[in-house]
């Protein structure tokens, strides 16, 4: 009996955890929008990365295939890449002088 209750609790917990981790279409849409916004900011700084674009494309492809788990992960990766390119463009506004031949 005890084992039965324990198993049931574990199954319920696992099911709950899985549903909490699994990304939905809404999660994907939010992640994609955030990545696109960051990439737009990188464009305004004239410093987009090709890898941001390819990772965004990969996210869309996963979403088109209904795999929102991978689609959301790719969109989040694209956002991280876009944010790194923004950081690069911003910090280079001063740092480029370190390389200058004087």
Partner 1 sequence: MKLQTKITLALVAFGLVMLAFAAPAVFAADKVDPVADAKAFKKFFYDKFPKLKPEDFVNGPYSMDADLYKQWQEKEQFPPYEFSLEMGKEMFSKPFKNGKTYGDCFPNKGIGIRQDYPYFDEKEGKVITLELALNRCREANGEPAFSYVRDEMAALTAYMAFTSRGKPFDIKIPNDPRALEAYEKGKEYFYTRRGQLNFSCATCHVQSPGEKVRTEVLAPALGIVNAMPIYRSEWSGMGTTSRRFTTCNSQIRGVPLTPQDDEYRNVEYYLSYVSNGLPISGPGARP
Query: In 10 A of CB 34, how many CB atoms?
Result: 16
For partner 1, the binding residues (CB under 8 A) are: 46-51, 53, 81, 84-85, 88-89, 92, 95-97, 99-102
**Min dist. Cβ of residue 80 to partner 1 (A):** 11
CB of 22 to partner 1, least distance (A): 30
> For residues 2 and 93, which CB has a smaller minimum distance to partner 1 in the complex?
93
The pair of three-digit structure tokens given for residue 79, joined into one six-digit string: 């956002």
Tokens at 10, concatenated? 């574990």
Taking the least distance from each CB to partner 1, the nearer of 18 and 50 is 50
What token pair was written down for 38? 């960051």
Q: Which is nearer to partner 1, 23 or 42 (CB)?
A: 42
**Separation between Cα atoms, residue 16 and residue 55, nearest integer Å:** 30
Distance of CA 25 to the CA centre of its chain: 14
Nearest approach, Cβ of 16 to partner 1 (angstroms)?
38
């Amino acid at each position: 009996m005890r084992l039965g209750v324990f198993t049931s609790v574990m199954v319920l917990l696992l099911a709950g955890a899985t549903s909490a981790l699994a990304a939905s279409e809404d999660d994907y849409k939010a992640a994609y929008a955030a990545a696109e916004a960051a990439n737009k900011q990188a464009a305004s700084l004239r410093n987009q990365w090709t890898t941001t674009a390819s990772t965004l494309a990969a996210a869309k492809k996963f979403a088109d295939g209904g795999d929102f788990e991978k689609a959301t992960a790719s969109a989040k990766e694209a956002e991280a890449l876009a944010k790194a390119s923004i950081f690069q463009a911003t910090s280079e506004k001063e740092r480029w002088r370190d390389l200058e031949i004087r």
